[in-house]
Amino acid sequence: MVVVMTVLSSRALGRALLERQLLLRRAELAVVPAVEQLFGLNAQSPNDPYLVLWSRLKLFSLADLTGAIEDRSLVRSTMMRATQHLMSVEDFGFVRPVLAPLLRRVQRNAFGRRTTSVDLDDLVVAARELLADGRTLTRPELGRLLAERWPVDDPTALGWTAQYLVPLIHPAPSGTWNVYGATPFTLADVSAGDVRRMVPRYLAAFGPASVADARTWSGVSGLREVFAELRPSLQVYADSSGRELLDLPDRPLPEEDVPAPVRLLPPFDATLLAHADRTRIMTDEIRRQVCVGAGVAATVLVDGTVAAIWTVGPTGVLKVQPLRPLTDLDAIEAEALRLLAFTHPSTTDSNRVEFLPLENPHPN
């Protein structure tokens, strides 16, 4: 018996991604359920999660997210790809242990030579003791205290090692709007890691997707076996190149021609990072301009794909750098002004949008 899989175009995959990432229409969701639907927010910069939710929720204020961070409904920690993410406390509890092998590998690659004299299991126990009973320490403080037991040349390596190997979170005010600088840690509770639970949640937020896509999003190896185990319960598709994609069976896909409104995404938005093949959201040529080194620029989506990069300064001028010939200039300007009203409410009368000339034009 020959089984013919449904082939999904890049546009169809893009529309599915936008729907699951709440970018086809702003949702009427509270902050915590929204973050769980998105399966975490990149939080390298404290303001980025606010902009993620502003772009996706109908009714959203700074106080909504700040309150959830303050009461620890949402926690900020080193998570997927060994970068800072904001997740619900429940999701953090079962995902963080799944990431433990990744984070140990990152520690070894970055600080292994500087911690050869340290028994890492003992260091984990010592760090837990130093942070017990709700105590907080910054990473430099933690490193210096650990160095009293392990007098290494670089105590900062011990602080970083603890950050990777122990489930630590940054309590408020860390991670709240415009709060930068030294960020203390405290110890967090985790449950048993459950990769078989993580994969369907990833598909709910970013599917249909391949094993390589899930590995790119998470940084976790060994997912092929997990996908194979779950495959009988999943919907199987193929992309236009014949690559197998898997999805939850109860998730209908939007039509390819459903309108996709202009959206301004912050730096490191997961929509741009959750797949090995990102052509559903941007061409390879545009990707090379958006993802430069370790950075990922703030982007403008037009008709569902990346069309421009945006930046904003302290004076309330938002600059749009096209990456392809732009359409819908009025819609881009209107959305940008709404964003400025959110980020720069004190300069509303002088907020403006500036379109820069297109450089090195690429095809869509």
Summarize pLDDT for 12-62 with one digit per residue, the tens: 999 999 999 999 999 999 999 999 999 999 999 999 999 999 999 999 999
Contact 172, 70 (CB under 8 A): yes
15 in any annotated domain: yes
The domain of 247 spans 1-257
User: How remote is the C-alpha of 108 from its chain's centroid?
Assistant: 23
As a whole number, mean pLDDT of residues 94-115 equals: 96
Q: Are residues 311 and 198 in the same domain?
A: no
Question: Does residue 94 surpass a pLDDT of 60?
Answer: yes
Same domain, 24 and 125: yes
**How much is the average pLDDT of 326-341?**
95
Give the count of alpha carbons within 13 A of 359, CB side only.
6
318 and 210, same domain (yes or no): no
316 lies in some domain: yes
Domain-located, residue 270: no
Is 318 within 8 Å of 336 (Cβ atoms)?
A: yes
Average pLDDT of the chain, as a whole number: 94
Query: Which pTM does this prediction carry?
Result: 0.94
Q: What gap in Å lies between CA 238 and CA 218, rounded to an integer?
A: 22
Give the distance from CA 219 to its chain's centroid. 12
Please give the structure tokens belonging to residue 200: 């369907």
Q: What is the pLDDT of residue 1?
A: 37
Question: Are 26 and 171 in a shared domain?
Answer: yes
Count of structural domains within the chain: 2
Same structural domain, 204 and 336: no
Bridge partners, residue 302, by sequence = 305
Distance CA 259, CA 268 (A): 24
- 222: region left, alpha or beta (phi > 0 left; psi from -120 to 50 alpha): left
The answer to whether the beta carbons of residues 277 and 55 sit under 8 Å apart is: no
Q: Is the pLDDT of residue 288 over 60?
A: yes
Query: Can you tell me the mean pLDDT for 226-250?
Result: 95
My answer on whether 211 and 296 are in the same domain is no
The separation between CA 131 and the C-alpha centre of its own chain, rounded to angstroms, equals 27
